Structure 1
Amino acid sequence: MSALPAEAQSPTLAAGSGPPWALKMLSETNHDFGAVARGAEVKAKIIINNPYEQPVRIGSVTPSCSCTTANMPPKTMLNTYESTELEISMDTRRFVRHKDAIVTIRFDAPQFAEVRIPVQMYVRTDVVLTPGSANFGAVDVGKGGTQTIDIAYAGNPDRKDWAIVEAKTSNPHLDVKVEETSRTGGGTVNVAVNYVLTATLKPTAPAGSFRGIIQLITNDATNPIVPVLAEARIEGDITVTPENVPLGTLVPGREKTVNVVIRGKKPFGISKIECESEDEAFLVRLPEGEKAVHVLPLTITPPEKAGPYQEVFTVTIPGRPEPVTFKATGRIAETN
C-alpha cells in the first residue's frame, strides 16, 4: 500500500510569539490539527485567562489567511481571573494538502501587546466526510442522541485493501461504531470504499458544552488515524449565567454587588441559597414566588485577607432532587 505524500507529514509548528505576560494568559500558543479528512470540521478552543490585577482588553483577532477563521471572543474585557474562549477553525472544503496561518491577537489594555499563534493542517484528498462532524446540536440533559457520517475513500488501484479497522473515542459519554457499506475497484481501476460512522451521545453527558474526538483507525501505516469532531450543547432544566461569577479586584470592607441569572425551562422557586465557606462575606436576597428567570443580586463585603478569593454557592429548588451550584471568583487587593 502506498503512503500519503511526504508533505502530509506537517512540519514542526513554531511556538507562539509575543510578550511573556500576554503569552502567559493563553492555554496554548500554537495548534496543529494534523492530517484531517476533506470536508471535516476542524476547530480548536484557546482559553484566554487574566491572572493580573489590572483588567485586560482584547482589541482584535486577525487570521493571516482565508483558510482560517478566528472571530472575536464573546468576552473582550477580562477582569482579574476572568476567562474567555477564542475558537479557531480551518477550511477543509476549499483547501487541500498542507495549509498554515498565523492568528494574531492584539491586546490594547492595560498596555498594547501582539501575540501571534501559528496553526496548521494537512487536508487529505483521499478521504471525505459528509457531514464534517457529529453535531448533535441542542440536547436536553439525560436524553442523548445519534448522528451518522458518510465516509468516502478514493485511492489508487494499489490501495485496494485500504480499510477502517476500528472507530474509538476516549470520551466516556460517547459510543461509536463504523460499518463498511461498499467497495469497488482494484487491479487497474481506482479504489472506492464507503463507510458509515454512527456516533451515539449517551444520556450521561452532563449539562454544558460537549466536545469530543472520534478516531477512525485505518490500516494505512503512514497516516493511520482520521479524526472526527463530535459536538453538542447539553441543556439542563436549570442554567446559571455566568457559571463562574467574576468579582474582579475587591477592596477589603468595600461592598460590591454583582448579578447572577438563573433560568429554568418552566417557572420554579428558590427555597435556599448557601455559601460553602464560613466567611459570611455575601448577602443574598432570596427571591419570592416562582418564575422562569430569577435575577439574584450578590453583595460581597470582602474580608481583610489579600489574595485570590473564591466562594461556592448551593441553590435549593423545591421539587428538584439535586441542588444547583455555581461559584464566584476574584482577588482581594492588599491595603496599606
Structure 2
Amino acid sequence: MIRHFALAFSVAACLASTTVVAADWTATAFPIKTHDFGTVAVAAKTEFVFPVVNTMSSTMHIQTVRASCGCTTPIVQNQYIAPGQTGSILARFNTDTFKGKKGATLTVVIDQPFYSEVRLRVDGYIRSDMVFFPGAIEFGRSNQGEAVSKSTKVLYAGRSDWQIVDVRSNKPWLMPAVKETVREGGRVNYELTVDLREDAPTGFFQDEVVVVTNDRSMPNVPLRVSGQVESALSISPQAVALGSLKPGEGITRKLVLMGQKPFQIESITAENWDVKYEATSDLKKVHIVNPTFTYTGQNAGPQKVAFEIKTAGDDSVTAKGVLTADVRGQ
C-alpha cells in the first residue's frame, strides 16, 4: 500500500515538474506575443515577425499555427528550431481583402520538446479610403554607392480637403518625397517616391516610411520599404586574425578581393598599422593579394581595428574588414 502510494506520488510530482518546465519554456520561447499594426492603408504590405527562441537542450518542432480570423495569415518560417537557435512565425495582415478594425489570435501548437499551445495576438485598423499601389516599396538588389529611386501611388477617396502633409523616415539614407497628381472632388492621388542614397549600408533592410495626413483621428499611415544593398567590392576573409606578434614584426595574410566590374587597388590602410603589398596595374574583377601587416602603435595587448581597401579611378569604391592581433610588450 505504502509502495503504491509512493509510486503514485512520484508520478504526480514528475508530471507537475514537467508542466512547470513546459510553462517556463514557452514563456522564454516567445519574447513577443502581441503586435499592433496601427492604421494601415488598403493593399499595404503589412507583416510582422514573431521570434521563437529555443532555450532548451532538445529540438523544438512547431506543428501548426491557426488563426482565429481570416484577416491574418500565419506562416511558420522555421518548423524545426535547434537548441540555442531562433526561428520565426510571420503574421501577414490581409489588407487587400479586409477593412476596418481587425485582429486575430494565432494559436501556435508545439509538439516537441513539450506539447504546448501558445497564443499570439495581432491587431490593426485597415482604412478603406486610402490605397497604396503597389502596397510596398521594394528596391530588390542594388549596389552600394549607387542611388536608386522607387515609387508608389497613394490613392484616396473621401474628403475634398484631404492631403498628405509630410512623409517621414527614420533612416537618413532613405529619403521620401511626395507629389500631388490628381485632385477631383473627393478623389486625391499622390506619387510617393523614396530615394535609396549612395551611403546606404550593405545588407538586407526592412523598414518603413510614415505618411502623415491631415486626418485628426488617424494621421499616420506606414508604408513598408525593403531591399538588399550589395557591396561593389567584397573581401574574403573579412575578419583577419594575425595572432600574437611583437611591435615591428610583420605578418602576411592572403586576401581575395572581388568586384562587380574590373578594378585596380589603390590602397590598403589600417590605423596604427603599416600595410605593404605588391601593387599591380591590372584591371580585373578578382585580385589575390598578400599584404603584410606591421604594428606601428604604442600600446601592447589585444588590438582590433578596421582595415580599408580602396580601388583606383573615378568610380572608386571602398570595402572594410576587421583586423585583430595580440601585440606583445617589448
TM-score normalized by the length of structure 2: 0.64
Aligned to 2:162: 162
Partner SS, residue 26 of structure 2:
helix
Match of 1:193 in 2: 188
Q: 1:37 aligns with which of 36, 41, 49?
A: 41
Q: Which of 97, 101, 106 is the aligned partner of 2:100?
A: 97
Q: Name the CA shift for 1:62/1:145 in 2 (closer, same or farther; >3 Å).
A: farther
The DSSP-based 3-state class of the residue aligned with 1:79 is coil
Helix, strand or coil: the match of 1:71? strand
Structure 1 residue 65 displacement after superposition: 3.0
Would you say the 8 A contact 1:141–1:207 is kept in 2? yes
Give the Cα–Cα distance (whole angstroms) in 2 for the partners of residues 171 and 95 of structure 1. Answer: 30
Kept in 2, the 8 Å contact 1:174–1:202? The answer is yes
* Contact 1:216-1:225 at 8 Å conserved across structures: yes
In the alignment, which residue of structure 2 is the partner of 1:83? 86
Identify which of structures 1 and 2 has the higher relative contact order when contacts are C-alpha pairs closer than 8 Å and 6+ apart: 1
Structure number, greater radius of gyration: 2
Q: For residue 218 of structure 1, what is the aligned residue in structure 2?
A: 213
The answer as to whether partners of 2:238 and 2:321 remain within 8 angstroms in 1 is no
- Measured on the aligned residues, the alpha-carbon RMSD in Å equals 3.4
Letter aligned with residue 140 of structure 2: G
Aligned 8 A contact 1:29 1:117 in 2? yes
Give, in whole Å, the separation in 1 of the partners of 2:69 and 2:243: 48
Query: Which residue pairs with 2:66 in the alignment?
Result: 62
Equivalent in the alignment of 2:30: 26
Structure 1 counterpart SS, 2:25: helix
| Deviation, structure 1 residue 237 | 5.9
What secondary structure sits across from 2:123 in the alignment? strand
Cα shift readout 1:201-245 (whole Å, capped 9, x = no counterpart): 12222232211121111111111111111111223468xxxxxxx
1:108 to 111, 129, 139: 111
Distance 1:75 1:314, change over 3 A: farther
Aligned ranges for residues 147-296 of structure 1 at < 5 Å? Answer: 147-155=150-158, 159-185=159-185, 191-236=186-231, 270=237, 273-274=240-241
> Does the Cα contact within 8 Å between 2:66 and 2:74 map onto a contact in 1?
yes
Alpha-carbon offset, residue 122 of structure 1: 1.4
The whole-number CA distance in structure 1 between the counterparts of 2:88 and 2:212 is 30
Conservation of the 8 A alpha-carbon contact between 1:272 and 1:316? no
Q: Deviations over 1:86-130 (max 9, x none)?
A: 221111111111222122222222211111111122111111110
The answer (yes or no) to whether the contact 2:240–2:321 under 8 Å persists in 1 is: no
The alignment's TM-score, normalised by the length of structure 1, stands at 0.63
CA contact (8 A) 1:55 1:79 kept: yes
Asked whether the 8 Å contact 2:108–2:119 carries over to 1, the reply is yes
Q: CA separation of 1:272/1:140 partners in 2, compared to 1, >3 Å: closer, same or farther?
A: closer
| Alpha-carbon distance change, 216 to 318 in structure 1, aligned in 2, over 3 angstroms | closer
Structure 2 counterpart of 1:322, which letter?
K
The structure where helix makes up a greater share of residues is: 2
Structure 1's unaligned 5+ residue stretches are: 1-17, 186-190, 239-263, 278-285, 293-312, 326-336
For residues 152-172 of structure 1, the C-alpha deviation after alignment (integer angstroms, 9 at most, x for no partner) is 1110xxx32111111111123
The amino acid that maps onto 2:120 is I
Deviation at 1:271, TM superposition (A): 9.7
Q: For the Cα contact (< 8 Å) 1:59–1:76, is it kept in 2?
A: no
1:270 CA displacement = 4.9
List runs of 5+ in structure 2 lacking aligned partners: 1-21, 245-252, 260-303, 311-317, 324-330
Aligned to 2:280: none
Q: Secondary structure at the match of 1:179?
A: strand
Letter matched to residue 163 of structure 1: Q
Match of 2:140 in 1: 137
